[in-house]
Amino acid sequence: MGELADRITESHPDIDSYPIIAGGKIQKYKLHETAIEMLGLQDITKIETA
């Protein structure tokens, strides 16, 4: 694989299942929370912006 492909696979881990509501829609905020935990970005999310 090329360098770009390696970076993409490192930043996008495999997900076994998606959090889905009864209507079949993916819960994007749960994916966001999971990604923050997996990547160890808890400190960054505490930064206040305008």
**3-state DSSP call for residue 3?**
helix
For 36, residues 6+ apart whose C-beta sits below 8 A from its C-beta are 42, 45
User: How much is the pLDDT for 22?
Assistant: 92
- pLDDT above 90 covers a percentage of the chain that reads 6
- Tell me the average pLDDT of the chain: 75
Structure tokens at 24: 């079949």
Structure tokens at 49: 């912006």
Burial class (CB in 10 A: 0-12, 13-18, 19+), 16: exposed
- For residue 27, count other CB atoms closer than 10 A to its CB: 13
Q: Highest mean pLDDT range out of 23-27, 32-36, 37-41?
A: 23-27
Residue 40 confidence (pLDDT) above 60: yes
Q: What is the mean pLDDT of residues 2-22?
A: 68
User: How much is the pLDDT for 8?
Assistant: 56
